[in-house]
Amino acid sequence: MLALAGCFIAASALAAGTLEDVKPAGEDRFRFSAVVETEGAYGIARDRANKLEFLIDPQLEYRFSEDTRFTAIARLYAEGFDHLEPGQPGQREIASNSRRVLLGDRTDMELRELYLSTQLGKAHLTLGKQQVVWGKADGLKLLDVINPQNFREFILDNFDDSRIPLWTVNAELSLGKSNLQFLWIPDRTYHLLPESGATFAFTSPLVVPQAPPGVAVDLRPIERPKNILTDSDVGMRLSTFWHGWDLTFNYFYHYADFPVFFQSLSLAPSGAVVTVSPRYERNHLFGGSFSNAFGDLTVRGEVVYNTDRFLLTRNRPDSGGVTKSGEMSYVLGLDWFGIRDSLVSFQLFQSWLLNPTSDIVRDTSDTTTSLLTRRHFLNETLEAEVLWLRNINEGDGLVRPKVSYELRDNMKVWLGFDLFHGTRNGLFGQFAQNDRLVTGMEIGF
Amino acid sequence: MQPKMRHTLIALFLLFPLFASIAAAEALPAGDEIARRINARNEGEAVSRHVTMSMTDRGGTERVRETKGFRKYFGKEKRIVIFYLSPANIKDTAFLTYDYPEADRDDDQWLYIPAARKVRRISASDRGDYFLGTDFTYEDIRKETKVGIEDYAWKTLGEETIDGHRCFLVEQIPVNDNTANELGYGKVQSWVDAEIWMVRQAKFWDVAGNPLKTSQFKDIKPIQDIWTAHQLISENHKTGHKTVFTFKDVDYGRNVKDEMFTEDALRRGF
């Protein structure tokens, strides 16, 4: 992190020395804003309160010039029932300098983002803790893997809230109609997974190894990458606008954010024990994205090849209960704007394992679809939408009807449902008992 | 006086009003010519401005958005970018459009949604959709003070005075049903300033022929020798909703960088 701080200071000095662009007036130099949000959820199936959260996101910007600014975003988060992250989460997946400050079981504070953004000739630098988002897909992630995610509400939380910002050197070079981006991420922070007992703790055999009946499980601490240089992530993206097409070509060398659960079976005096040793594994991601508009229709998509996907198997002794395979994935999205003030959006996600073994838990190919219909009323003050995500292989899914209304200039309220269906084997079906009614309010200052 | 000459004089006397009105009509420029003069008006190669968008519903509830906007010509292609600065819950929303000169080529549009932190390509074909909750359509935003000559049949109806300024009253009828549906208008009447060739007022009817909205261009004054409207008002007669755009810090002399009009610029914000 010291290296990143050095870059940060050097860029500040360099930017300050090249401020030939327009300087904002004194009152425009500082910008302070804040968003206050409260959301409650009531578990329908379990007939109990699911969550009652309250958060404040203050944001401060200081503008050295129109091209150079410093941004800091903090968060105070409180949750009344302590069901999403019971007790004080260990945060073992998070690098020590990126962890939240826990103020008891139900309240925490977090430095969400802290970065300097500046233009140096044709280069644009963003240095510090930030979110970097790749890709064109909604809801499910193929290219949007730069930042890990907090899964305390599975994928129900707003991605902007659930994404975990990382300390990153983000350099972009303008090449006329194209843009070349380089990322260096020394921050070794990974997905934050709900611990056992949390409302949205994972139980599906697709992602959690299942111990045979009567066999004890010894879950070891996650083995984290240690070296700030050799274990950092690096990425590159070339984006261009070509004959109406928005195109990107992406490469990311990284630790996959889900730990791999290596397992070994041993015999103890008390009986058989499965020792689970989670650790993070490297992956090369090669991919690209595209989008274009044709009349009322926009077409968008992503294609990704992951060299090293680690997947759970049914037989564990030889291979540690996992197998490695390459994986090809794509998402194709169609957005139709043919009815005024309305959007109908369909997405097809598919992935194939290139070197599957016969005993893997998941299917060799996997298909998920999404359908979103949204309509605005009353000059976009009222919005109604329904999102339906469905996994074809497992036959499970998630339906999310929602209505939101802008009560005042800076105040929005909403009411919706999160309705899961399917068996506990599926990623969605595992939460079939977590259907909930959600209501919330957001105020901006 | 001979009877034949008398009859001729009487006939001329009776026909004089007709000749006079024809002569007066001929003195008015044709609708197409007025449209061309509107679009020929200098609006600078580039401009930056702060725009306050005020939206008021029938019940009097007002929503206010502060924005920063830039426009630049790349040859005949016009690019516009708008960054939302406040309120906090929609801050960093940004809109980018490429308005191409070819009539048969759809424009390109992008919208940055801060909640997703993603730039979305959006369809530009339904030009009559209202722009982010305002009473101005995407087409209004793209055209600014220019007009779509090829979209309408133009006809000069006469002369009237608006805000003390002599204006030509022009009727615009969409060239076909498809264009009318795309624009959302069945008829438009515009009052065009005869001196500076700017629209000062426009009335719109929907495709069914019902009164739809009235737009006014106020506080028109020269900035760096370019006539500039500092207030745009649009009132929807069906919904009772009203939008006022108030411009300040208009600057045609500023170096607006090409890189401002890119997806990456939308993502970085202003």
On whether any CB of chain A is under 8 Å from the CB of B87, the answer is: yes
- The residue behind tokens 């983002």 is A113
Closest CA to A7 of A204, A186, A176: A186
Contacts of B89 in chain A (CB under 8 A): 35, 410, 412, 442-444
> How far, rounded to the nearest angstrom, does the alpha carbon of residue B132 sit from its chain's CA centroid?
17
Contacts of B85 in chain A (CB under 8 A): 31
User: Which CATH number covers residue B155?
Assistant: 2.50.20.10
B68–A contact, CB cutoff 8 A: no
User: What are the residue ranges spanned by the domains of chain A?
Assistant: 2-444
Measured CA to CA, the distance from residue A336 to residue A373 in angstroms comes to 10
Asked whether residue B117 carries a pLDDT value surpassing 70, the answer given is: yes
**Is residue B254 within 8 angstroms of chain A, CB to CB?**
yes
The mean-pLDDT minimum among A23-37, A274-288, B62-76, B84-98 falls in: A23-37
| Whole-number pLDDT of residue A23 | 60
Measured CA to CA, the distance from residue A378 to residue A423 in angstroms comes to 40
Pick the residue from chain B with its C-alpha nearest to A65: B270
The tokens for B15 are 């026909």
CA distance A245 to B108: 10
Is the CB of B134 less than 8 angstroms away from the CB of A412?
A: no
Q: Say how far apart CA A330 and CA A366 lie, in whole Å.
A: 11
Residues with Cβ within 8 Å of A117's Cβ and at least 6 positions away in sequence, in order, are: A68, A69, A70, A71, A124, A125, A126, A127, B268
Structural contact between residues A90 and A195, judged by C-beta atoms closer than 8 angstroms = yes
A143 CB contacts (<8 Å, ≥6 apart)? A134, A135, A136, A137, A248, A250, A285, A287, A289, A302, A304
Q: What's the sign of the alpha-carbon dihedral B172, B175, B177, B178?
A: negative
Q: Which of residues 97-126 of B touch A (CB under 8 A)?
A: 106, 108-110, 114-126
What is the structure's pLDDT at A16? 46
Give the count of beta carbons closer than 10 Å to the beta carbon of residue B263. 21
In the stretch 7-36 of chain B, residues with CB closer than 8 A to chain A read none
Buried b (16+ CB within 10 A) or exposed e, A420-440: bbbeebbbbbbbbebbbebeb
Q: Does residue B8 lie in a domain region?
A: no
Q: Phi, psi (5° rounding) for residue B141?
A: -65, -40
Predicted-complex ipTM score: 0.89
Per DSSP, the three-state class of A13 is helix
Residue A18's pLDDT is what? 43
CA distance A341 to chain B (A): 7
Is residue B144 one of the residues assigned to a domain? yes
Task: For residue A267, give both structure tokens.
Answer: 């015999």
What confidence score (pLDDT) does residue B2 get? 60
Contact: A337, B88; criterion CB under 8 Å = no
* Chain A CA closest to residue B63: A409
- Chain A residues 396-435 with a CB less than 8 Å from chain B: 406, 408-410, 412
How far apart are the C-alpha atoms of A226 and A230, rounded to whole Å? 9
Q: B156 — contact with chain A (CB < 8 Å)? A: no
Spatial distance between the Cα atoms of B132 and A252, rounded to a whole number of angstroms: 35
Both tokens of B217, joined, read 């261009």
CA distance A241 to chain B (A): 9
Q: Chain A contacts of B114, Cβ < 8 Å?
A: 160
Whole-number pLDDT of residue B10: 60
Check CB contact under 8 Å for A379 and B55.
Answer: yes
List CB contacts (< 8 A) between A409 and chain B.
62-64, 87
In a domain, B19, yes or no: no
pLDDT band at residue B9, thresholds of 50, 70 and 90? low
Assess B133–A contact: CB distance below 8 Å, yes or no. yes
- Asked whether A255 and A278 are in contact (CB, 8 A), the reply is no
Cβ contact A160–B117 (<8 Å)? yes
Domain membership of residue B25 (yes or no) is no
Judge whether B266 and B97 are in contact, CB under 8 Å.
no
Structural domain includes residue B114:
yes
pLDDT of residue A430: 96
Q: pLDDT, tens digit, for every residue of A169-213?
A: 999 999 988 999 999 999 999 999 999 899 999 999 999 988 888
Range of the domain at B46: 32-268
Residue B20 belongs to some domain of the structure? no
pLDDT interval class at B73 (50, 70, 90): very high
> Are A281 and A310 in contact, with CB atoms under 8 Å apart?
yes
Confidence of residue B103 (pLDDT cuts 50, 70, 90): confident
Question: Given an 8 Å threshold on Cβ–Cβ distance, is B114 in contact with A341?
Answer: no
Neighbouring C-beta atoms of residue A261, cutoff 10 Å: 22
Inter-chain touch A445–B87, beta carbons under 8 Å? yes
pLDDT for A177: 85
The residues in A 257-276 lying below 8 A from B, measured between CB atoms, are: none
- Structurally, at CATH architecture level, domain A2-444 sits in Beta Barrel (2.40)
pLDDT for residue A400: 98
* Partners of residue B55 in chain A, C-beta under 8 Å: 379
CB < 8 Å to B110, chain A: 246
CB proximity under 8 Å: B 187-246 to A:
239, 241
> What residue in A sits closest to B53 (Cα-Cα)?
A409
Instruction: Please tell me the predicted confidence (pLDDT) of residue B4.
Output: 60
Q: Chain A residue with minimal CA distance to B117?
A: A133
- CB contact under 8 Å between A59 and B88, yes or no, is yes
Give me the residues of A, 98-157, that contact B with CB < 8 A: 117, 124, 126, 131, 133, 135-136, 138
CB A32 within 8 A of CB A62: no
pLDDT for the residue A19: 39
A242 inside 8 A of chain B by CB: no
> Do the chains contact at A124 and B122, CB–CB below 8 Å?
no
Best CA proximity match to A379, nearest among B242, B87, B122: B242
* Spans of chain A, pLDDT less than 70: 1-27, 316-318
Contacts of A126 in chain B (CB under 8 A): 268
Mean pLDDT to the nearest integer, B11-33: 64
A378 touches chain B (CB under 8 A): yes
Question: Chain B: nearest CA to A361, how far in angstroms?
Answer: 32
Q: Is residue A291 less than 8 Å (CB to CB) from chain B?
A: yes
pLDDT tens digits, one per residue of B172-222? 999 999 999 999 999 999 999 999 999 999 999 999 999 999 999 999 999
B134 vs A contacts (CB less than 8 Å):
379
What pLDDT, on a 0 to 100 scale, did the predictor assign at position B13? 56
Interface of A with B in 322-351 (CB under 8 A): 335, 337-338, 340-341
Shortest CB distance from B133 goes to which of A293, A379, A444?
A: A379
Q: So what's the pLDDT on residue B126?
A: 75
pLDDT at B245 over 50: yes
What is the pLDDT at residue B93?
96
Considering chain B, what percentage of its residues have pLDDT values greater than 90? 80
Kind of pairing, strands A382-391 and A365-377?
antiparallel
Whether B3 is in a domain gets the answer no
DSSP-assigned beta bridge partners for residue A216 = A273
CA distance A118 to A125: 5
For residue B235, being part of any structural domain is answered with yes
- Rounded distance between C-alpha atoms, residue A170 and residue A134, angstroms: 13
- B88/A34 Cβ within 8 A: yes
CA A312/CA A191 separation, integer angstroms: 18
A266-287 per-position pLDDT tens digit: 888 888 898 999 999 999 999 9
Work out the minimum CA distance from B124 to partner chain A, whole angstroms: 7
> Cis bond leading into B87, ω under 30°?
yes
What's the mean pLDDT when you consider all of chain B? Answer: 91
Are residues A340 and B270, on separate chains, in Cβ contact within 8 Å? no
Q: For chain B, how many structural domains are there in total?
A: 1
